[in-house]
């Protein structure tokens, strides 16, 4: 079983097909400094059928842990690049990461359009 930095009893509660794939950089230096390596409180992943109010409260608590984590930037980029579909990573929920990724995609499209316009020879 793959072990996240915030290796948690809660992860075991996530159905097998929903367990994030984090093993690829298990030995990455940032992993060793993760504040959440032992997530006894199960803050980072939702238990099944979690009520909305409980989810919001849990996610805010997880974000407070992330806020004091020395590897938050590395963790966040990892979660965006994989991308990790579940859990709080780098201070962002899965929904927040989807927003960031959508913004990046739009930015990339705009940059490609701009590059194409620059390559079009000017008439006259």
Structural contact between residues 80 and 100, judged by C-beta atoms closer than 8 angstroms = yes
Among 10, 11, 19, 34, binds ligand SF4 (CB under 6 A): 34
Give the footprint of ligand SF4 on residues 81-120 (CB under 6 A).
88-91
Q: What's the min distance (Å) between Cβ of 123 and ligand SF4?
A: 52
Q: What 3-state class would DSSP assign to 80?
A: helix
Using the minimum distance from each CB to ligand SF4, give the nearer residue, 9 or 109: 9
Among 14, 28, 35, 61, binds ligand SF4 (CB under 6 A): 35
State the Cα angle at 15 between 59 and 39, rounded to 5°. Answer: 40
Q: What's the min distance (Å) between Cβ of 113 and ligand SF4?
A: 34
Q: What's the min distance (Å) between Cβ of 63 and ligand SF4?
A: 8
Using the minimum distance from each CB to ligand SF4, give the nearer residue, 78 or 107: 78
Structural contact between residues 47 and 12, judged by C-beta atoms closer than 8 angstroms = no
Return the closest-CA partner of residue 5 out of 40, 43, 29, 34. Answer: 34
Name the packing angle between helices 94-119 and 72-81 (round to 10°).
70
Footprint on this chain of ligand SF4 (rule: CB under 6 A)? 5-6, 34-36, 44, 65-66, 69, 71-72, 75, 88-91
């Amino acid at each position: 079983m793959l072990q996240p930095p915030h290796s948690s009893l809660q992860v075991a509660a996530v159905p097998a097909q929903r367990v994030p794939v984090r093993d690829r950089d298990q030995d990455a230096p940032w992993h060793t400094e993760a504040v959440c390596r032992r997530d006894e409180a199960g803050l980072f992943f939702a238990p099944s059928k979690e009520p909305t109010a409980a989810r919001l409260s849990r996610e805010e608590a997880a974000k407070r842990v992330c806020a004091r984590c020395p590897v938050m930037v590395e963790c966040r980029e990892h979660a965006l690049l994989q991308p990790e579909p579940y859990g709080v990573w780098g201070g962002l929920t899965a929904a927040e990461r989807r927003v960031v990724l959508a913004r990046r995609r739009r930015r990339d499209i705009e940059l490609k359009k701009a590059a194409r316009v620059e390559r079009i020879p000017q008439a006259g």
